[in-house]
Amino acid sequence: MRHIVWAPWRGTYITGEKPVSACVFCDIFKSPDDKNNYLLYRGNHTFIIMNLYPYNNGHLMIVPIRHTADILTLDKNEFEETTVLMRRSIKAIKETMSAEGFNVGYNLGSAAGAGIDAHIHLHIVPRWNGDTNFMPVISETKVISEHITDTYNKLAKFFCIMEGL
């Protein structure tokens, strides 16, 4: 049985030009177009972006500005800012989306499931009681209940007031 799920934001990616550079995260940070890149916050050492292929609404990633694939190379400032932004991201999602729980973690290397293993990033995935329904179990299909731009607009308001970390 074939199942179809409408995900309009994926069409632009599928039919659009693919970046030719070595790193999509580096390209996003270098671009001034935060809204179209779903970049929510620029810190001194890291930045927060939304995952274009989320596990759930509000799935964020905290990415070091410096290109590195090895978590052991993060310096103290990068690691500390990642932790501060993780806590602030969780607070933002709780306040704007009423999340009831979170999965937080790194996928270090392709063997660990990293889709982009050349530039490490911390995932923050909001969860709600009952958010796992019959769709993934029966048809290997995930339902995302809100358009990514709507979620970005909700969260962007929160991150605009976070200046001065």
* Percent residues over pLDDT 90 in the chain: 54
pLDDT at residue 3, rounded to an integer: 46
For the chain, domain boundaries: 27-160
What gap in Å lies between CA 78 and CA 157, rounded to an integer?
Answer: 24
Rounded Cα gap, residues 2 and 123, in angstroms:
30
pTM (predicted TM-score): 0.77
| pLDDT digits 0-9 by tens, 110-149 | 888 888 889 999 999 999 887 665 445 444 556 666 788 8
The length of the chain, given as a count of residues: 165
Local confidence band at 159 (pLDDT 50, 70, 90 cut-offs): confident
Gap between the Cα atoms of 138 and 133, Å rounded: 9
Per-residue confidence (pLDDT) for residue 114, from 0 to 100: 82
Confidence of residue 9 (pLDDT cuts 50, 70, 90): low
Res. 8: pLDDT tops 90: no
Asked if the model's pLDDT at residue 26 lies above 60, the reply is: yes
Q: Provide the pLDDT confidence category of residue 67 given band limits of 50, 70 and 90.
A: very high
Q: Which among 127, 100, 129, 125 is positioned nearest to 113, based on CA atoms?
A: 125
Residue 2 scores a pLDDT above 50: no
What positions carry a catalytic annotation? 121
- CATH number (3.40.640.10, 1.20.1440.120, 3.40.1190.20, 3.30.428.10) of 27-160 reads 3.30.428.10
Q: Which residue has the higher pLDDT, 80 or 149?
A: 80
